[in-house]
Amino acid sequence: MNQQLAVLETVLKHFYQSPSPEPQLVAGILYSIQAGGKRIRPLLLLDLLEGFGLKISQEHVKVAAALEMIHTGSLIHDDLPAMDDDDYRRGQLTNHKQFGEAAAILAGDSLFLDAFALLAQADLPATQLVELTQALSLASGTYGMVGGQSLDMRSEGQTLTIEELQRIHENKTGRLLHFPFLAAGVLLELDVESRELLDSLGKNLGLAFQVRDDILDVTASFQELGKTPNKDEIAQKATYPAIFGLEEARGILAELLDQIHQQITALEAKGFQGAVLKERIEGLAIGS
């Protein structure tokens, strides 16, 4: 994992080494993209490729890095006063607190667009690049993360059904976590059955991650989260603990993780080496 992270960080840093007409914009971008974080989305993609026996190349890492750029841009925008209005992210001041709101908006905009420039630089078959570009765009925009964020903002203070809550989570958080599983199917040129299994696994993981995030918002400290806790409750957001209670939310998470474990086992029957992925998934479990 350390080697994967080192190459990922190098690719991200290298993209912004070319002279820019606005160095201050680049400084703002690097402030957020180099702020740490678990890098779970890009690492999931690399885990999947390695698990199926594919030798990781710089081109694969560019796909993973493009995903991380989209994710980081979304965090910058999520933290803005008009959105979640947070002062800290990954243990440091949020981008708009450090550089101002306008600069933060532009840094997020750049990351959303730069991701596709980096993806286009990957020396991969043209058919794969087209499929990956479409998948990442759909996961990020109106039909994915941004659409889910819009639903989330409009749901504040409302009583939602479980179906409505799940629709928000599937898009706002789930789609970017789902992308590594779609991308792996493309890069590995897997059969339809394997792709469908990866698709279902990715959807379950995306939902599990958000349920976990909901739980941690009401149980973890600032030091553990790297951001302000209890923000969802204060904003009257629809979350799993708010609708089901904390203990049932824990049960839902445990059930999802069990389903994910079974799906990884099914992939192992098709030749996938799942030990690393299982270990990463187990890290999402929350003690009582």
Per-residue pLDDT of 127-162, as tens digits, reads 999 999 999 999 999 999 999 999 988 888 888 888
- In a domain, residue 20? The reply is yes
Banded model confidence at residue 235, pLDDT cuts 50, 70, 90:
low
Total tally of structural domains belonging to the chain: 1
* Residue 180 confidence (pLDDT): 98
- In a domain, residue 254? The reply is yes
Predicted confidence (pLDDT) at residue 231 exceeds the cutoff of 80: no
Distances (CA, A) of 194 to 134, 141, 178: 20, 26, 15
Task: Kindly give the interhelix angle for 101-121 and 126-140, rounded to the nearest 10 degrees.
Answer: 160
* Residue 227 confidence (pLDDT): 74
- In a domain, residue 99? The reply is yes
Distances (CA, A) of 126 to 118, 129, 134, 186, 188: 14, 5, 12, 12, 14
Which helix (H) or strand (E) covers residue 88, if one does? Answer: strand 88-89
Q: How far is it, in rounded angstroms, from Cα 74 to Cα 142?
A: 13
The answer to whether 208 and 256 are in contact (CB under 8 A) is yes
- In a domain, residue 287? The reply is no
Predicted confidence (pLDDT) at residue 288 exceeds the cutoff of 70: no
Q: Quickly count: other Cβ atoms within 10 Å of residue 39's Cβ.
A: 21
- In a domain, residue 187? The reply is yes
Q: How far is it, in rounded angstroms, from Cα 72 to Cα 112?
A: 9
Average pLDDT over residues 14-27: 94
Which pair of tokens denotes residue 88? 């800290």
- In a domain, residue 50? The reply is yes
Average pLDDT over residues 90-116: 97
The answer to whether 82 and 51 are in contact (CB under 8 A) is no
More confident residue, 236 or 220: 220
Predicted confidence (pLDDT) at residue 41 exceeds the cutoff of 80: yes
- In a domain, residue 226? The reply is yes
Predicted confidence (pLDDT) at residue 117 exceeds the cutoff of 90: yes
Mean pLDDT across the chain, nearest whole number?
A: 92
Q: How far is it, in rounded angstroms, from Cα 45 to Cα 184?
A: 6
CATH of residue 107's domain is 1.10.600.10
Distances (CA, A) of 232 to 5, 85, 96, 191: 31, 11, 20, 41
Least confident interval from 119-123, 129-133, 176-180, 249-253:
249-253
Average pLDDT over residues 38-59: 95
The closest of 269, 262, 237 to 164, measured between CA atoms, is: 237
DSSP, res 89 = E
Which pair of tokens denotes residue 100? 């101002």
Average pLDDT over residues 257-274: 94
The answer to whether 217 and 162 are in contact (CB under 8 A) is no
- In a domain, residue 97? The reply is yes
Domain that holds residue 19: 2-282
The answer to whether 66 and 136 are in contact (CB under 8 A) is yes
